Every structure is written in structure tokens, then in C-alpha cells.
Amino acid sequence: MTTPLLADLAAEARNAAHPQSDPCACGVVVTLADRADATVVRHAATVAKAHTPGTDPAELRARLDTAARVPGVLLPPLTPTPVLVHGRLVTLWPYGTPVDPDAPDEAPWEAAAGLLARLHRTTPPLPLPPMRGPEKAARAITRLHAAGPHPAARAVTRAWATLPAWARAEAPPPDATSLCHGDLHLGQLVRHPAPAGPWLLIDVDDLGLGPAAWDLARPAAWYACGLLPPDEWSRFLTAYRAAGGPAVPADGDCWPALDVPARALTVQTAARAVAKAAAAGRPLDEVEQCLVDACARMGTIPAQLPRNFAK
């Protein structure tokens, strides 16, 4: 069903893809995502995104300006200023070819690691708000509490309680100087120009200043939970180190730096999974249970804090 937001978002994409005098003959608008936190459509080589309701306009503009000023790492927006559509801030982007989820052997782990390392080594070109990773983790816990009772919820909330305050968005992080993506996963990479240009990072909603280790946390968490094969984790970590990424030591044990962020991402992902299962009245699937089991283990083992960091 086409909602008023989707219809007007499609119009924004069409107008950006074609001059007013140029008739459109390139096909329909494709809905790429339609969730409460983001609605995204594509027409020809243009993508229009409606951001989360309540998005701060000044913070979004700062993130857009940053994307435009870090070429070769972040996909630049087509226009520097969002527009308001049905009460939602909307931005326009060039289309890029995403990672193929049906070709896991071709996952661009090295490209993702290299882009992150370059991002983390970049001096922020202008003042930015904090990276929103811990805030998103806290929202996942809030959603879990609102979803109603579920047998797995206790393990997730106990694991959450073991995290330091900064990882729960209750205190400033130990490092707030690195330029961070804030929500790194393979869905945040595209090839631009499509279809075979270089890989670039997309989605600036969580971009900001914070601890660089957070951007490595999701693959680290998947590896620790047994969901990412060791060779893929090794490819990612090795490429990040080779590119001079500052989030972990150049060699030796990386886990003192990654342990807390990886735990936080495990809890966040498990909380979202349990909330969905509770809402649907269904048992957890195998992957979801794996995440909850990891939370249960975390609840009995204290987190490793980075060296020289007071809790």
C-alpha cells in the first residue's frame, strides 16, 4: 500500500533524478526500506530517505556536511540541506550498488575495514554531535522493556547491567575524539558509481564523535557469538590494522579495546530480537537464541575495560 509519505518521497526522488522538462521513462520508484525509523525509495540513480521522526535538523545538517567533506570514505549527499516531508526530514543521495546478501563469500570485509580506518584517522572537518551507538543500544533495551514478558529478557537485562555507564548512554565515553560511523555493518556499504565503483560508507544518522572501537563492535560481537567465521573476522581485523586503524593495537590482543563495545552490540541485537519475538508471540530462532546465550554468559563475567580507563 502506498502511504502519503511514500508517494511524496517518490516525488522527491523523481524530481531530483530528472529536470522538470525531462520526461521520465526509466521505470517505477522502488521502496528500499519502510520502517518506523527510516523510509527509503529509489528512482533511477537517486535515493530519497525520510529520517527518524524527531531527528534534530542541526545535527543532521552537520552530519551531511561531514559526509560531503570526507570524499572516498562517505557517500556524499546530492544536496546539503534536508527538506521536510510529512513532518520528516528527507535527504537525497546518489544510488550505489549494495552488498549482495546472497554472496557471503564475496563480503567486502577488507573494504569495510579500510574505510573505517580512514574514517577514524580523519580529523573531523567541523563540530559534530556524539556518535549515537550507545544511544541506539539504550533504545533497544527500552523497546525490550516495552515489549512485554519473555523468558529470555532477564538474561539480556542482566548483561546490560554489567556494562559501564558510557556504553549504556548514561555517561560520556572514554574517548570522544574519533570520527565514527556509529552503526557499521555490511548493509552500510555501497559501490558508487554503480554498479562497480569503489566501496563507500552510507547512512550518516549515527555519525559523530566517540570511541572508534564501537565501529568494530558488531563484527567482533558476531565473531564472539560464533555467527561470523574466524577467517572473516581475521580478514576484517587484519585489514583494519594494516590500514592504520587506531581503535585497536597494531598487534597483539585486541579484546581489551573491543570487549565492552562488542558486549554492548550483543545486548542491543539480542534485545531487539527478543522484543520482536515477544511481540509476535513466538519462540526465538537459532541465531536469536545464540545471542541470548551470549548475554547469559556475559552476566557472569565482568567486562574488560580499556587500560588506563576508570569505570
- Per-residue model confidence (pLDDT) at position 159: 97
For residue 300, pLDDT beyond 80: no
- Per-residue model confidence (pLDDT) at position 309: 37
- Per-residue model confidence (pLDDT) at position 310: 33
Q: What mean pLDDT is reported for the chain?
A: 93
- Per-residue model confidence (pLDDT) at position 174: 85
Per 3-state DSSP, what percentage of the chain is helix, strand, and coil (rounded to 5)? 45, 15, 45
Which among 199, 178, 186 has a CA at the least distance from the CA of 73?
Answer: 199
How many helices (H) and strands (E) in the chain?
9, 10
Sign of CA pseudo-dihedral 170, 173, 176, 180? negative
- Per-residue model confidence (pLDDT) at position 78: 96
For residue 83, pLDDT beyond 50: yes
Helix (H, G, I), strand (E, B) or coil at 98: strand
65-71 mean pLDDT = 96
Give percent of the chain with pLDDT exceeding 90. 84
> For 130-171, what is each residue's pLDDT tens digit?
999 999 999 999 999 999 899 999 999 999 999 999 999 999
Instruction: Give the alpha-carbon dihedral of 163, 168, 172, 211, to 10 degrees.
Output: 70
96-114 mean pLDDT = 94
pLDDT confidence band for 308 (50 / 70 / 90): very low
- Per-residue model confidence (pLDDT) at position 302: 64
> For 181-216, what is each residue's pLDDT tens digit?
999 999 999 999 999 999 999 999 999 999 999 999
Give percent of the chain with pLDDT exceeding 70. 94
